Amino acid sequence: MRLRWLVPFVPALFLTLVPPARAADPRPSSAPDKRALALEHAHQGLDAYRAGRFEEAYEHFREAQALFPAPTLLVHMARCQRRLGNVVEAKALYGEVLAQRLPDNAPPPFVEAHHNAESELAEMQAKLATDETTAVRPAPVPFQGSILPGAIALGASAMGLGVGVVTGAMSMVKVSDLRSRCQGDHCAPADRTTADQARTLGTVSTAAFVVGGVAAAAGVLLIVLRPAGKARATMGAVKDPRVSVGIGRADFEFRY
């Protein structure tokens, strides 16, 4: 911010750009008091601006401008409004500076204030245009990872469940055969091998169902989350995935 030029030119500011109506003030004795008060407000405004107290700085510059109008004060008022985020007010103040026609013998600070208002207004408008373009720019489509890991897991699940079905069926056949030959809980010693086989097939069937269920849950999760990517935007984020495995079953639960 170009604050260096305001302080040394404040006295000249109030002595040279007084409107004709004020120059012909019927109360000339009050002019020195107004000039001193305006100069005090200008200095206090500079101190508050440097300290980042932009609302306070604006009020001081406004008071000084009301006593002795000058484009330098208007530029500082515009800067305060810009720092406060009041874009409309800042643009109006810059426009007020640019609307004033400076005389050929205008002091250098006023000429510089006119140039500053022009450049700062153009900079502010360019930034606003950039912000609007960024705001309406469509969000990039998130990269979707491959579904291959999920497909492989589902294939393994199918194999596991298939093994569980086959071995379970074989176990049930052997158990049915034993029941047809045994009397109650008493079986012949020769049927011990068949009983062991039925028991082993039942264990394998249960284990295969568990593995198949876990693989199925993992496959669904991998397809939804897509490794190395993000979940589909239309589906939303997956929350609280839960896997529940039991004998001969596996449950997979999640919510969006």
Query: Which of 150, 153, 158 is CA-nearest to residue 208?
Result: 158
pLDDT for the residue 9 = 42
For the CA atoms of 95, 101, 29, 6, the dihedral, rounded to the nearest 10 degrees, stands at 60
Q: Which residue has the tokens 């055969």?
A: 177
Q: Which 3 state secondary structure label does DSSP give 239?
A: strand
For the chain, the distance separating the N- and C-terminal CA atoms, rounded to the nearest angstrom, is 50
Query: Which of 51, 52, 48, 43 is CA-nearest to residue 72?
Result: 43
63-74 residue pLDDT tens = 999 998 899 999
pLDDT for the residue 166 = 83
| Predicted confidence pLDDT, tens digits, the chain (256 residues) | 444 444 444 444 444 444 434 444 443 346 778 888 989 999 999 999 999 999 999 999 999 999 988 999 999 999 999 999 999 999 999 999 999 888 889 899 999 999 999 999 999 988 888 877 766 666 665 566 677 776 787 788 788 788 878 887 887 876 777 677 676 666 767 667 777 777 887 788 788 778 877 877 877 777 777 665 444 444 444 455 555 545 445 554 555 4
Alpha-carbon distance 38 to 143, whole Å?
61
| 8 A C-beta contact, residue 226 and residue 186 | no
At residue 217, what is the residue type?
A
Tokens for 249? 């079953």
Q: Where are the alpha helices (DSSP H) in the chain?
A: 6-16, 20-23, 31-50, 54-67, 71-83, 87-99, 108-136, 148-181, 192-225
Alpha-carbon distance 139 to 205, whole Å?
49
pLDDT for the residue 24 = 42
- Global pTM exceeds 0.85: no
